[in-house]
Structure 1
Amino acid sequence: MSFCQTVWEDVAPLRRAILDHPFLNELAAGTLAPESFRHYIVQDSLYLAEYSRALALAAARAPTASGRLEFSDGAKVAVQVEEALHQAFFAQFGVTAEIAAASEPTPACLGYTSYLSALAATRSYEELIAGILPCFWVYWEVGCDVKPRAASPNPYAAWIDTYAAPAFGEATDRVRALVDEAAQNATAATRAAMVTAFRNATRFEWMFWDSAYHRAIWPI
C-alpha cells in the first residue's frame, strides 16, 4: 500500500467525523443557516490567501519540475478560481467588500494557516506537501459524498459542484502522486513526520467546518 493510502486509512475516523458533521449534512440538504455559510466563506477567503502562499513556497522548494508546475498552478487556482466562487457567494449572502476587509481569522483559521506557514518555514518539503494534501483530498471526498445526496434546488449547489468536479479530483490525484513520490524517497523519520503533518491538517479541516457551523469568534 502506498504512503498516501496508508495515511488515508490512518485518518479514517477523522474523515468520518468530517462527513458526518452537521455543517455538511445541512449543506447537502440545503438547510444550512445562511449565517453559518457566510461565516465559512469569509474565513475560507482568508484561509485561501495564506494557502496560496504555502503552495507557492512548496513550488519554490520542489525538487522536480512536475512539483514546481503543480504547486505553482495550485497557487494560481487558489487565488483565481476559488476567489471567483467566493465573490459570487459574497454577493448571494450579503458579504460586502467592507465586511470582508474588516474580518479577522478565527482561532481555527489562524491555527490552520499558521501551521502550514510553520511547515513551510521550519520543516521539510516532504512535511509541507503532506500538510497541503488534506485541503485537496478531504474536499474532494466531501464533494463526492455530498453531491449524490444534495437536495435540488440547493443554495449551495455551486460550492458542491466545484469540489465534486472531475478536474478537482484530477488535481487531487496529481498532488497525491507528488506526496507518494516524496515519501518513497524519504527516510523513515521524515515519513513519520509526514504522517503527523497530514493528520494535523486533517484535524484542522474538521475544526474549520465546526468553527463555521457554530460561527465561532475569539472567546476573549
Structure 2
Amino acid sequence: MGFCDTIWAEVAPLREAILAHPFLTGLADGTLPGETFRHYIVQDSLYLAEYGRSLALAAARAPDAAARLEFSDGAKVAVVVEQALHQAFFNQFGVSPEMAEATEPTPACLGYTSYIASLAATRSYEELIAGILPCFWVYWEVGCAIKPRATTPNPYAAWIDNYADPAFGEATKRVCALVDAAAQEASPATRTAMARAFKQATRFEWMFWDSAWRRESWPI
C-alpha cells in the first residue's frame, strides 16, 4: 500500500467525523440555514486566497515539470474557478463585496492557512504537498458522499456538483500520485513528517466545517 492509501486509512476516524458533521448533513438535505452557509462561503473565499498562494509556492519548489504544472494549475483553479463559484453564492446569499472585504478570517480559517503557509516557508517540499492534499481529497470524498443523497431541489446543488465532479476527482488523484512519488523517494523521517502534516491539515478540515456550523468569531 502506498503512502497516501496508508495515511488515508489512518485518518479514517477524522473522515468519519467530517462526513457525519451536521453542517454537511444540512448541505445534503438542503436544510442548512442560509446564514450558516453565508458564514462558510465568505471564510472559504478567504481560505482559498491563501491556499492558492501555497499551491503556487509548491509549484515553485517542485522538482520536475509535471509537479510544477499540476500545482500551478491548482493555484489558477483556486483563484479563477473557485472565485466564480463563490461569487455566484455571494449573489445568491446576499454577500456584498464590501461585506466580504470587511470580514476577518476566523480562528479556524487563520489557523489552517497559517499552518499551510508555515509548511511552505519553513518545511520541506514533501511536507508541504502532504499538507496541501487533504483540501483536495476531503472535499472530493465529501462531494461524492453527499451527491447520491442530496435532495432536489437543493439551494446548495452547485456546491455539491462542483466537488462531486469527476474532473475534481481526477485532479485529486494526480496530487495523490505526486505525494506518493515524493514519499517513495523520501527518508523515513521525512515520511513521518509528511504523515504529520497530512493529519494536521485533515484536523483543520474538520475544524473549518465546525467553525462554520457554529458561525465562529473571535472570542475577544
TM-score scaled by length of structure 1: 1.00
Aligned residues: CA RMSD: 0.3
In the TM superposition, what is the alpha-carbon distance from 1:47 to its structure 2 partner? 0.2
Give CA-to-partner distance per residue, 1:111-138, whole Å, 9 cap, x none: 0000000000000000000000000000
In the TM superposition, what is the alpha-carbon distance from 1:215 to its structure 2 partner? 0.2
Is 1:142 aligned to residue 142 of structure 2?
Answer: yes
CA distance in structure 1 between the aligned counterparts of 2:110 and 2:51, rounded to whole angstroms: 11
Match of residue 22 from structure 2 = 22
Runs of 4+ in 1 over 2 A off after TM superposition: none
What letter is aligned with 1:47?
Y
Match of residue 77 from structure 2 = 77
Match of residue 11 from structure 1 = 11
* Number of matched pairs: 220
In the TM superposition, what is the alpha-carbon distance from 1:75 to its structure 2 partner? 0.1
Task: Flag structure 2 segments of 5+ consecutive residues without an equivalent.
Answer: none
Report matched runs for 1:151-162 at 5 Å: 151-162=151-162
Is 1:184 aligned to residue 184 of structure 2?
Answer: yes
In the TM superposition, what is the alpha-carbon distance from 1:217 to its structure 2 partner? 0.1
Is 1:132 aligned to residue 132 of structure 2?
Answer: yes
What letter is aligned with 1:173?
K
CA distance in structure 1 between the aligned counterparts of 2:129 and 2:10, rounded to whole angstroms: 17
CA distance in structure 2 between the aligned counterparts of 1:146 and 1:186, rounded to whole angstroms: 35
In the TM superposition, what is the alpha-carbon distance from 1:63 to its structure 2 partner? 0.2
CA distance in structure 2 between the aligned counterparts of 1:42 and 1:26, rounded to whole angstroms: 18
Give CA-to-partner distance per residue, 1:99-157, whole Å, 9 cap, x none: 00100100000000000000000000000000000000000000000000000000000
CA distance in structure 2 between the aligned counterparts of 1:94 and 1:60, rounded to whole angstroms: 37
Task: Flag structure 1 segments of 5+ consecutive residues without an equivalent.
Answer: none
Give CA-to-partner distance per residue, 1:29-82, whole Å, 9 cap, x none: 000011110000000000000000000000000001110000000000000001
CA distance in structure 2 between the aligned counterparts of 1:196 and 1:94, rounded to whole angstroms: 39
In the TM superposition, what is the alpha-carbon distance from 1:6 to its structure 2 partner? 0.2
TM-score scaled by length of structure 2: 1.00
Identity of counterpart residues, as a percentage? 77
